[in-house]
Amino acid sequence: MTIVEPDADGLRRAVRLLRAESVVAFPTETVYGLGAHAFSARAIAEVYRLKNRPSWNPLIVHVADVAAARALAHEWPDAANELAAQFWPGPLTLVVERARHLPQIGAPTPTIAIRVPAHEVALRLLAAAGLPLAAPSANRSEGISPTTAEHVLRSLPDVPLVLDGGPASWGIESTVLDLTTPTPTLLRPGALALRPLREVTGAIALPGAVADGTARSSPGMGRRHYAPKATVLLVDDVTSVDRSGLAAPVAVLSYETAGDYDAAEVLSADPREYAADLYAALHRLDDAGVGTIIVQAPPDTEDWLAVRDRLARAAR
Ligand code: TXA
Ligand code: MG
C-alpha cells in the first residue's frame, strides 16, 4: 500500500487502478472512501473482501455532478433536484430507484444511493476516471471510519493506493435520505443536519431505530459499528461510573472537563466540531492501547443526532 500526493501523477496512478478494476482509497469531505468502478463486479467484490463487509449492505455511488446522478436513476424526483441544487457537492446521500438497465451495486436492492462529494481531490478523481465510483468508508467493517490517509493505511493495509487529501473536514459520514418513500426517510443521520433538509423537503420520517443506512431492512442492525478495540461505555454522568473492574487503562471521552483518567480526549461542546474530531480521537485512544473508554453522552438534541448515533453503535 502507498499513500500518494493527489498531484497529476498520483491521480494518473489512481485512474489506472480504477480502470483495471482494482480499488483506490480517496479523500472526501466526510471520511475517506474505498473507491471502485461502480459497475465492475470484480472491483465491487474486492471492496467487500477488503472491508469484510456483509454482502447485504449496499454501497454509495459517488458521481461528479447532478447529470451523472440522474443517469443512474430510474426516476429522479423533484425533491432530488431541489436537494441536489442546494446541498451538492456535499455530505448528503440520496437513495432513489436505480435505472433498470444497471446492475446492483453489491447488495441486491432496486435502489441506488448517490452523492456528489465536496472535496477537490474526489471531484478531480471522478473527472479523471470518468466513472461512477462506489465508495464505502475505507475501514474494516464495523471499525472506526478513517478521517486521514494514515487511518486508511492502518485499517486496510492491502489497499494498493491511498490519495492523501489531508484530514477530512466534516469527519463524520454523509446523511443518507431515502426518497423512494412518500415522505423522505432518514436512513442514517450524518454530517448534514435535519433542519436545513426539512426546509427543502418538509417533513422527514425518522425510523424507530435511526442508525445505519440499513435501518429498516437489515438483520445486521444490532451489530457493533464505528467501534474501537476498547470497550466503550456511554454514560450520562462520567463522574458516577464505578471504575473498579473496568479493563485498564481507562480513558474518558468528553466535551466537558477531563477528570483523573489514564487517558483523556476532551472534544468541543459544539456538535459539528465534536463530530470532526470524534473518529480521530477514537483512533488515538486505540493507538494508546486503552482497555475502556468512558464516554460522556452528548445532549439528546437533534444537533447531536449523528454523533449520538455513532457513539451508541460504538458502545454496543
Ligand atoms: O460520507 C459517506 O457517506 C462516506 C464517504 C466515503 O462518501 N461513505 C460511507 O459509505 O459512509 P458506507 O458504505 O460506510 O455507508 C453507506 C451507507 C450504509 O449505511 C448503507 O447501508 C447505505 O449507505 N446505503 C447504501 N446504498 C443504499 C441503498 N440503495 N439503500 C439504502 N441504504 C443504502
Ligand atoms: Mg462505513
Could you say which ligand is closest to the alpha carbon of residue 135?
A: 1
CB of 228 within 6 A of ligand 1: the answer is no
161, burial (CB in 10 Å: exposed 0-12, middle 13-18, buried 19+) = buried
Q: Is the CB of 135 under 6 A from ligand 1?
A: yes
Tell me how far CA of residue 184 lies from CA of 30, 78, 157, 206, 303, in angstroms: 22, 12, 38, 9, 19
CA of 171, nearest ligand number: 1
Which ligand 1 atom is nearest residue 191's CA?
A: 1
Find out whether the beta carbon of 174 lies less than 6 Å from any atom of ligand 1: yes
pLDDT at residue 224 in the model = 73
Specify the ligand 1 atom closest to the Cα of 117. Answer: 7
**Whose C-alpha lies nearest to ligand 1, atom 23?**
213
Closest ligand (CA of 174): 1
Q: Give the list of residues 6+ apart from residue 84 with CB closer than 8 angstroms, or none.
A: 66, 69, 94, 116
**Contact yes or no for 156/34 (Cβ under 8 A):** yes
pLDDT value of position 126: 98
Q: How far is the CA of 252 from the centre of ligand 1 (A)?
A: 29
Give the Cα separation of 106 and 101 in Å (integer): 15
Return the C-alpha cell found at 192. Answer: 448534514
Which residue has the CA at smallest separation from atom 12 of ligand 1?
136
**DSSP designation for 303:** G
Query: Is 33 near ligand 1, meaning CB less than 6 Å away?
Result: yes
Pocket lining: 187 vs ligand 1, CB cutoff 6 Å: yes
Q: Is the CB of 142 under 6 A from ligand 1?
A: no
| CA dist., res. 69 & res. 62, Å (int) | 8
Cα distance between residue 18 and residue 275, in whole Å: 30
293 close to ligand 1 (CB < 6 Angstrom): no
What pLDDT shows up at residue 223?
Answer: 58
Contact between 201 and 83 (Cβ < 8 Å): yes
Tens digit of each residue's pLDDT, the chain (316 residues):
799 999 999 999 999 999 999 999 999 999 999 999 999 999 999 999 999 999 999 999 999 999 999 999 999 999 999 999 999 999 999 999 999 999 888 898 999 999 999 999 999 999 999 999 999 999 999 999 999 999 999 999 999 999 999 999 999 999 999 999 999 999 999 999 999 999 999 999 997 655 444 444 433 344 577 888 999 999 999 989 999 999 999 999 999 877 889 999 999 999 999 999 999 999 999 999 999 999 999 999 999 999 999 999 999 7
Ligand nearest to the CA of 60: 1
| pLDDT confidence of residue 287 | 92
Distance from the alpha carbon of residue 53 to the mean position of ligand 2, in angstroms? 9
pLDDT at 213: 41
| Pocket test residue of 53, 116, 173, 226 for ligand 1, highest count of atoms within 8 A of CB | 173
Cβ 38 under 6 angstroms from ligand 1: no
Residues ≥6 apart with Cβ < 8 Å to 245: none
